[in-house]
Amino acid sequence: AVRCTKSAIVPMFRVGRLSSQARRLLNPRIQYYSAQVSGWRYTKSHEWIKVEDEVATVGITDYAQQALGEVVYVETPVVGETFKTDDPIGAVESVKASSDIKLPASGTITEANSLLADSPDLVNKSPTDQGWICKMKLENPSELDSLLDEKGYNEFIKGTEKE
C-alpha cells in the first residue's frame, strides 16, 4: 500500500512541472477563475467584496463604519443560505439604528465571522480585515464586473461629500 501511495504521489509532482497550458487542460476551472476579477470590489451602499481563490469575503467599508459610529451589534447571515445580489443578509447596529447589509453578489454563505458576536467593534477598528462579515461561494463571479473598483468607489465617495 505504501508503494502504491508513493507511486501515486510522484505523478502529482510531475503535474506541477507541466506547462501552464497542460495544467489548464487537466483542470479547466483554474483558467476560469484566474480570468475572473481578483482583488476588491465595492457597492454604492458601501459594502466591499474580495475574491481569493474561489472564496468571496464581504464586509462594509471604512467610510461606512465611520459614518455609522460605534457598532454595537452585527447580525450575520446563516451559513448555508443562498441569496441574490442586493438581498439584505444582515444588519449593523449603531446609535440605536440598525442598518441593512446588502449582498454584493449572488451566492451561498459559507462562513459568518463569529468574532463579531463578542467584538462587534471589529467592524470599526478593522472594517476591511478582522471586521469581515461573511464569506460566500459565488454563484456567478462575473457579477462582480458590474461593481465599482477601488478608484471608482473613491470617486463615488468624493461625489457624495460634495453634496
Partner 1 sequence: MLQNVIKILRLGPTPYTKALKLQEHLVNKAKTKIANGEPGDNVLILLQHHPVYTTGIRTKEYTLEEENYLKSLGADFVRTNRGGLITFHGPGQLVAYPILDLNQFIPQANRRKAALGVRWYVNALEEVIIKACKEFGLKGSRSPHTGVWIGENKVCAMGVHNSQLVTSHGLALNCCVDLDWFTKIVPCGIVGKGVTSLTKELHRHVEIEEAEPFLLQHFAKEFSSRMIDSSVTELNLPAELCLDD
Name the residues that contact partner 1, by CB under 8 A: 45-46, 64, 66-69, 72-73, 75, 88, 91, 93-100, 102, 157, 160-161, 163
Min dist CB 40 to partner 1, Å, is 20
**Phi, psi at residue 8, to the nearest 5°?**
-75, -35
Q: Is 74 helix (H, G, I), strand (E, B) or coil?
A: strand
Min dist CB 41 to partner 1, Å, is 18
Min dist CB 114 to partner 1, Å, is 14
Q: Which three cell numbers stand for residue 136?
A: 460566500
By C-beta, is 30 or 95 nearer to partner 1?
95
E strands, 12-122, are 39-42, 47-52, 55-60, 71-75, 82-83, 88-94, 97-102, 107-112
By C-beta, is 24 or 72 nearer to partner 1?
72
By C-beta, is 38 or 91 nearer to partner 1?
91
Question: Edge-to-edge, what's the strand order for the sheet holding 55-60?
Answer: 39-42, 47-52, 55-60, 134-138, 107-112, 82-83
By C-beta, is 104 or 141 nearer to partner 1?
104
Q: Which three cell numbers stand for residue 11?
A: 505523478
Min dist CB 77 to partner 1, Å, is 13
Chain centre distance of CA 132: 8
By C-beta, is 64 or 148 nearer to partner 1?
64
